[in-house]
Amino acid sequence: MKNQLKTVLLLGILSTLLVTLGGALGKGFLPVALLMAVVMNVGAYFFSDRLVLAMHGAREVSPSEAPGLHRMVAELARHAELPMPRVFLMDEAQPNAFATGRNPEKGVVAVTTGLLHLLNERELRGVIAHELAHIKNRDILLSTIAATVAAAVTYVAHAASFATALAGARSEDDSEDGYSPIQSLMLAMVAPIAATLIQLGISRSREFLADETGARISGDPEALARALEKLQAGAEHIPAPPRPATASLFIVNPFAGVEGILNLFSTHPRIEERARRLRALAMRPSSDASWGAPAARFG
């Protein structure tokens, strides 16, 4: 519930930022920017799954090609009360996984060959459950909404900076929108950065929620914590393909190990914090009614 409320709050702040920036430029610019963002992101919502799978050379595997993986996905999908997603395999050495699909009926779970080689069965269950949690929580839809508003902020900011440059000679007293040229320019510079940080905050919040939901699906939060730690180490030592645009989809950041100010722009929470929260869940008794998996396993 805490992560759900955080997501709603961040979306509200992002929307407020868009309205404020639109006010700095004038009401006529806001609908145009929002329409452009909606068109772009609706296209991404419907076709991004195909694009990202193609970018990573993922191929769909049948039950006969990967019977154990299919059985695991099917079992956990039943626990999560989800339709059986399509299963894809990426021939990549770095251990990682992601889920996509605009709704549960279009769900896809994709794993790398490196993931299958690194994790034991219990840890793999935890990772698959995490990815199913993203599908169950409709995180693809939420990320699309956040991206739409953030993109609109960026478009309006660019228009505001251009308009301010053209109207630089206008005095503050002549301003029709209540903002001086300097104020409008500062807002236009800061707004896209703020929108990006808020969008990334939403992404990190959804990762925490997917960890918790995934732990409830598998009934084994300790296994997911161990898997995350292994995947983090793998990402730090095995280079990822140079595709930063898709980094936010994966269960761990493919470009782990980046230090300094760039951590502000991380799409993932720190693995240490994710593992700590999962182990706190593992301390709860398995008879807790909040656990949804029929056969919870701890420790």
Q: Which residues are catalytic?
A: 131
Q: How many CA atoms lie within 13 A of 165 on its CB side?
A: 7
Strand partners, 60: 88
CA-CA distance, 44 to 74, in Å (whole number)?
Answer: 27
Q: Do 142 and 206 form a contact (C-beta atoms < 8 A)?
A: yes
Helices 2-25 and 139-166, packing angle to 10 deg? 20
- Compute how many other C-beta atoms are within 10 angstroms of the C-beta atom of residue 285: 8
Instruction: Look up tokens 């396993």; give the residue.
Output: 297
Q: Which residues of 240-258 are buried (b: 16+ CB within 10 A; e: fewer)?
A: beeeeebbbbbbbbbbbee
CA-CA distance, 20 to 30, in Å (whole number)?
Answer: 10
**CA angle centred on 165, ends 160 and 170, rounded to 5°:** 100
Instruction: Look up tokens 């140079």; give the residue.
Output: 242
Retrieve residue 115's tokens: 């993931």
